[in-house]
Structure 1
Amino acid sequence: MPSLKKIVIDSYPITTPYVGVGEFCRQIGKRLSERAFELRSQYGIELYFILPPQFKGYFGNNVHYICMPALLRGIAPFYPIKADLFHIPYQYNKIKNLYFAKKQLLTIHDINFIYEKKNEELKKAINKFKGKINKTDYISYISEFACKDTEEHFNVKLPKKIIYNGVTDLSNSFQEETLPSNLPKNFLFHISSLLPKKNVHLLVKMMKYLPDYNLVIAGNWNSNYAKNIKREISDNRINNIYILSNVTESEKATLYKFCKAFLFPSLCEGFGLPPIEAMKFGKPVFLSKLTSLPEIGGNEAFYWEDLSPQKMAEVLKDKLALYDASSDYPERLIKSASRFNWDNCVDQYIKYYLEILGIEE
């Protein structure tokens, strides 16, 4: 009997399961582990997950675990496992390679550092990224935009696949009692990391032109950018903006469920998870036309061509009227968002694994 092929997947980011790459690692790992018996019996593949020690067993008993304390991640490349494939789940991964792995697959979500960093910081980020590209054999991108952006800036010629992220359907996770009692009805909603690239300050300025609407902004308010926004709201006594910190998954679902619309004027996205989460509730979403957002939002999303606060307010009022007048619009949004689901995503990764390993389906 031929020896089993070993695929190692770094899933360490599940320590933050509901944030970006943590959610990606959690959902991919969960669904791969559910198919572990199939992969072993049909294709001779064994799955190994790199995780913190306290997460041993997280993906069940049909897979293997390489448990690694955070302090030892620096020497992880020399872990003595002769893997046939090492999957690195995102471009900023702390484990850059496995020395004994025959092939490596890198998933690239974005190259936002190109737009966010300057001078020496940018040079360091570019060199670090080039180093990771030089160590990999295959690439997956989470969007056409992420692929195009990376190849244009770094002239990457490696074998590739575009595999869209799944987006978890939260529409059955809401609990009305988790909605803060002080929130008004028919509120507009934004949730993000509240970093400069999210352009949240434009939403604050826009609300001056929307006195009959209210806006809920949720996220982590610890960054300097977020603190400045909070100060602007307070100093200008803007009374139609409500602030929420670090909401739970259930609270987030409830905010999607009861909001009037979701707003996301981001400057820079490799994918754009929150707009799709909102669309799965049938909610209208308003997006910038930048980077990946038109690709992800598709034809059913509304777009701000002009990111000046007054024009944004005008577009919002006009398009909300269009949404309200179209009884089928919620179903159209839900159908559009259904393109992005984790089962499809994992199906495509399994096909890519088999292709890389030279195994016929």
Structure 2
Amino acid sequence: MLLVNVSNLYTGGGLQTGISVIEEFTALKVKYIAAISPPIFEQLSDEAKKLCVVIKLTPSGLLNFSARKKLTNLVQKYQVTDVFTVFGPSYWIPKVKNHLVGFAQAWIIYDTTTIIDTLSLKERIKRIILNFIQKFFFKYNATKLVTETNDVRRKIISLFKTNPKNIFTVSNAISSAFYDKKKYDYKILNKLPTKNNDIWLLTIAYDYPHKNLKIITKLINKLPYKFKFILTVNDEFKKNFSKKNQNRIITLGKITNVQCPPIYEICDALFLPTLLECFSASYIEAMYMEKPIFTSNKTFAKAICKNAAYYFNPLNIDDISKTIINAYDNKTMINKKCLLGKALIKKLPSAKDRAKKYLNILYAK
């Protein structure tokens, strides 16, 4: 029996991947049981829910011993021989012969100097401790690791000094929710004002420090009034702006998998000033929805978007504003970028293909 562990996923792109994996495994008739978080349970189909057990507290919590015990009990109850933690670390040591863990912790493998400098002393200390703990679990708790890009794979092999045969790469994929318009939840659009001739820049991200969303507080004064930002953060974020600019910030709060496609449809471009990623699903989602991408001139972004995006220095307000304004002065180039993105999408696996690749890695001898 296989245990799919997504009990530690609550926000961000990992949540979407966790949902996708469970739905695809269900469709493929895989014999499994899943340990899931409440946010994932809310978005699953009725058929998938039948194969899931909700763990109400995340096992990543230091004192959440009960959550880790429930995972151990599931292994015993269902005679689990293999565990797939979709994104680690699991903060839990399963007594099984095979534990495949997904790796997406960019903090561990990339240069974080520019982000660390923006953190408080307390946050820096917390990050140092967390990095140490996470490295331990990734290195000693997984029999196999799976990454989303070859660049990340190379860095893991170098950092952990581990056997390359146990480190795999499976590219991220677009959730199957994007392919079926009948599943789109258009009710989310009721939260949006009338668009008129504005240009809406979309950022689907939680307000983590490395997402660099605070840069918008300065950028908004550099861009013409017609540029507005659509963000999946709560209303508290608006307090960072003057009253005259607050109506240029549209906050949606948390959104579901099936709400993402309609938002992409109505927005004009993806804006992602992130400082740190392993793989952002927003890039490939924007490409699929044929929207231009404005993002950081970082290697992790270029590895995915190649020539299909506009790049800027994420810490330089003038460079960001100039890049966006110049792009909209040349609509022909915007269309060309979108076509390049569409071509890149065709090379990616489908969500079903990704699920099959995970299974092949799990059961490879």
Moved more, 193-202 or 321-330: 321-330
Matched, 1:191 2:227: no
Counterpart residue number, 2:120: none
Q: CA distance change for structure 1 residues 139 and 179 in 2, over 3 Å: closer, same or farther? A: same
Equivalent of 1:304 in 312, 324, 345: 312
Could you say which residue in structure 2 is the equivalent of 1:292? 300
Q: 1:261 aligns with which of 269, 272, 275?
A: 269
Aligned equivalents of 1:62 and 1:69: distance in 2? 15
- CA distance in 1 between partners of 2:141 and 2:15 (Å): 23
Is residue 2:103 matched to residue 1:103? no
2:34 matches 1:49? yes
Q: Which runs of 5+ in 1 are unaligned?
A: 1-5, 40-45
Per-residue deviation, 1:213: 2.9
Out of 89, 92, 99, the position equivalent to 1:92 is: 89
CA contact (8 A) 1:275 1:297 kept: yes
RMSD, aligned α-carbons: 3.4
Amino acid aligned to 2:295: L
Percent identity over paired residues: 13
Shift of 1:328: 5.2
Match in the other structure for 1:317 = 325
Shift of 1:246: 1.1
Q: How does 1:223-238 map to 2 (within 5 A)?
A: 227=236, 230-234=238-242, 237-238=244-245
CA distance in 2, matches of 1:317, 1:215: 13
Name the counterpart of 1:118: 124
SS at the partner of 1:91? coil
Cα distance change of structure 1 residues 299 and 50 upon mapping to structure 2, 3 Å threshold = same
CA distance in 2, matches of 1:150, 1:23: 24
Q: Is the 8 A contact 1:11 1:89 kept in 2?
A: yes
Deviation at 1:287, TM superposition (A): 0.9
- Structure 1 residue identity aligned to 2:161: N
Distance in 2, matches of 1:197 and 1:68, equals 28
Alpha-carbon distance between aligned partners in 1 of 2:246 and 2:53, rounded to the nearest angstrom: 51
Q: Is this contact kept in 1: 2:274–2:314, CA < 8 A?
A: no
Does the 8 A contact of 2:107 with 2:276 survive in 1? yes
CA distance in 2, matches of 1:128, 1:329: 37
The letter for the 1-side match of 2:275 is: L
Higher Rg: 1
Instruction: Name the counterpart of 2:357.
Output: 348
CA distance in 1, matches of 2:129, 2:301: 27
Q: Tell me which amino acid in the other structure corresponds to 2:90.
A: N
- Counterpart code for 1:345: R
Aligned residues: 333
* 1:155-208 deviations in Å (ceiling 9; x for gaps): 333511111121226373364963623444332222311222111222332232
- Contact 2:13 / 2:280 at 8 angstroms: preserved in 1? no
In 2, the alpha carbon distance for the partners of 1:200 and 1:55 equals 28
The equivalent residue for 1:26 is 19
Contact 2:2 2:83 in 1 (8 A): yes
Query: Could you say if the C-alpha distance between residues 181 and 141 of structure 1 is closer, same or farther in structure 2, counting changes exceeding 3 Å?
Result: same
CA contact (8 A) 1:183 1:242 kept: no
Q: Residues 316 and 352 from structure 1, CA distance in 2 versus in 1: closer, same or farther, beyond 3 angstroms?
A: same
Give SS of 1:286's match. strand
Instruction: Please list the CA deviations of residues 4-58 of structure 1 after superposition, one character each: whole Å capped at 9, or x if unmatched.
Output: xx222113357x5x7422221211111112112xx6xxxxxx3232246995996
**1:146 equivalenced with 2:136 (yes/no):** no
Structure 2 portions without partners, runs of 5+: 58-63, 117-122
Q: Structure 1: which amino acid aligns with 2:272? A: F
Are 1:7 and 2:2 matched, yes or no? yes
Please say if residues 293 and 310 of structure 2, whose CA atoms lie closer than 8 Å, have aligned partners that are also in contact: yes
Query: With structure 2 as the length reference, what TM-score do the two structures score?
Result: 0.77
- From 48, 62, 73, the equivalent of 2:67 is 73
CA distance in 2: counterparts of 1:278 and 1:161, whole angstroms: 26
Q: Which stretch shows the higher mean deviation, 318-327 or 104-113?
A: 318-327
Partner residue in 2 for 1:218: 231
User: Relative to structure 1, is the Cα distance of residues 118 and 327 closer, same or farther in structure 2, using a 3 angstrom cutoff?
Assistant: closer
